[in-house]
Amino acid sequence: MTLVPELSMVVPIRDERAGVVDLITQLVPALEASRIESFEVILVDDGSRDGTPEILEQLCEADHRLQCVRLRRPFGKGDALGAGFDQARGSLIATIDADLQESPEELDRFLSVLEQGADLVIGWRHQRRDGVGKRISSFLYNRAVRWVGGPPLHDGNCGFKLMRKELARELPLSGGRFRFMQLVANHWGYRVREVQVSHRKRQTGNSHFGPLRAFTAALDLLVILALLQGHSRPGIVFLKWGLVSAIPGSVILAFIAYLRIFEGSIQHRFPLLALGVMLLLAGLQLLLAGVMAEWMGAKERSRPAYRVEKSRHETREHQR
């Protein structure tokens, strides 16, 4: 009989061949030394091309507590986290980046905050060892998230997190939406807290987030706000504003038609006619966009965006 672990540690990995062994040799002892009674480590390979998958397979063969999930191509960190969350069996789910810039030995501090009633605990890298560019972009990101209604955190995008399983399974993660876990959780009424963690320079590998990250993050933030406003149905927003535009436009055009039919002329009301046409056309376009968004959203909600090539956990279950 297979025991269900108390904690599932999800680690997204891409092209970390040089550091993946060090990752396991630091992560597993840290979990063993924590207050967690049982755990599993879910290593999600996000389409690596440098030989990382082969090393992960060997590590998972050597330790039954390690589980490998391999995506068919690079889908991004958000989808890698989603794949790991779907495989997780623990009632608590933690995440940490494969570069181990945060120390897994500090997990007990997260557990203490969670035991005080939090649903999501995020690390605060109060002394970051990143370059000036990353620190500036992080500052702007945190200010923007707090400004649109996020919880008052210092560092909402730290890769070291701990959360309850029921929250993890609900969060939108694909694309860059994983960056806004705290915003979504706070909007849904979950309790979000932070804890200070140490931070160190990256020792191996390279960052997979380029200079365009700020631009894509801004777009993702707009998408998240639309999802939250529309209760995870972005088409509702388009449909609402489509009606707001189309109904006045229709009323204006009906009035113009009345004047033309019963009085024979619309006289000097050509600007009003143009306004009515513009409002009606804009409303119809928004309504069409809303219908398409609802249709596509329903399809996307029915299946994840990523595609798993191989799961070590499924292989072990089949062998049993």
pLDDT computed for residue 250 by the predictor: 95
Task: For residues 181 and 120, give the distance between their C-alpha atoms in angstroms, rounded to a whole number.
Answer: 9
Query: Band of the pLDDT at 243, cuts 50, 70, 90?
Result: very high
Identify the architecture of domain 7-211 in CATH: Alpha-Beta Complex (3.90)
* Predicted TM-score (pTM) above 0.85: no
Q: Where are the domains of the chain?
A: 7-211, 234-301
Query: Band of the pLDDT at 46, cuts 50, 70, 90?
Result: very high
pLDDT value at 254 more than 80: yes
pLDDT one-digit tens code per residue, 168-180: 998 988 878 899 9
- Any residues with CB less than 8 A from the CB of 194 and at least 6 apart, and which? 121, 122, 123, 124, 153, 154, 155
Q: What is the mean pLDDT of the chain?
A: 85
pLDDT one-digit tens code per residue, 275-319: 999 999 999 999 988 888 777 665 555 456 566 776 765 555 555
pLDDT computed for residue 315 by the predictor: 52
pLDDT value at 108 more than 90: yes
